[in-house]
Amino acid sequence: MFEALTPGLLLAGPSGSLIRADHYVDAADGVPVVMPKDLTGNGFSTASIRYISERQATELKRFRLLCGDVVLARRGELGRAAVVREEQHGWVCGTGCFVLRPPSALDADYFAAYLRGPEARTWLETHSTGSMKMKTISLGVLGDLPVVLPDLATQQAIAGTMAQLDEHERLLRDQLELTRRIRHGALGGGIIATP
C-alpha cells in the first residue's frame, strides 16, 4: 500500500513545496493531511483539516501514517502529540509536524502522554527557536529530548492511567459546556425582576 518507516524512525513532515495550496481538494475526494492545528489535547480534530488527492498522497507515501505512529507538532504550541488509530491510518503527516514510528521498547501512548507533560513541554520550549508566538523545534533538537523510559509494562500502565484522566477531563469539559448552554438558555429567556 505505502512505504513503512522503520520502527524507531523519526521523520519531519514534507516541505511546503511538496504540499502546496493548489494540491488541496474537497474532503470527499481526498486524504486528510495532519497539521499542528489538527492535533488536539490527546487526538486529532477534523474540524478544519485539509485534504489532498489519493494520487498526491501516493507520491508522499513515506509520510503516510500507520496505526501506532505518534504525530507531534514541530511549531506553535509545542508538546501537542497524538497517537494514530485505525481512523487515521493512511492519512498524511503534513508540514509542521513530525511522525515517530516507536521502537518496540517505547509505548506510543506513553510517549505521546510524556510529550504532553510539563517536563517535556518545558524542555521543548527551552530548546526551541523562533518568536514567542511561533516556537519551532528541529528534528535534531527533538532527537535530543531526554525521555524517561521505564519498562514497557510500566509505560503501558502509565499510558492507561493518562487515558482515563484524559477521558475524565473530556467529560468534565462536556459538562461545563452543557452547564454554560443551560445557563445561557435560562438567561436568554428573560430575566425575572425581583421585588
- In the chain, % of residues over pLDDT 70: 92
To the question of pTM greater than 0.85 for the whole model, the response is: no
Could you tell me how many helices (H) and strands (E) the chain has, helices first?
Answer: 5, 10
Helices (H), ranges, 20-134: 54-59, 108-116, 118-126
Q: pLDDT by residue (tens digit) across 143-157? A: 888 888 888 888 888
pLDDT of residue 189: 57
Q: pLDDT by residue (tens digit) across 56-101? A: 999 999 999 999 999 999 988 888 999 999 999 999 999 899 999 9
pLDDT of residue 1: 38
pLDDT of residue 44: 92
Q: State how beta strands 24-25 and 92-93 pair.
A: unpaired
Does some domain include residue 88? Answer: yes
Q: How many residues does the chain have?
A: 195
17/33: higher pLDDT: 33
| 33 HSE (CA, 13 A, CB side) | 28
Q: Is the pLDDT of residue 3 over 50?
A: no
What CATH number did the domain enclosing 97 receive? 3.90.220.20
Q: pLDDT by residue (tens digit) across 27-54? A: 877 999 999 999 987 789 999 999 999 9
Does some domain include residue 1? Answer: no
Distances (CA, A) of 151 to 65, 82, 108, 156, 161: 26, 21, 13, 9, 16
Helices (H), ranges, the chain: 54-59, 108-116, 118-126, 139-143, 152-188
Does some domain include residue 3? Answer: no
Does some domain include residue 180? Answer: yes
Does some domain include residue 192? Answer: no
The domain containing residue 53 runs over which residues? 10-187
Provide the domain count of the chain.
1
Does some domain include residue 148? Answer: yes
Collapse the DSSP code of 1 into the 3-class scheme (helix H, G, I; strand E, B; otherwise coil) and give the result. Answer: coil
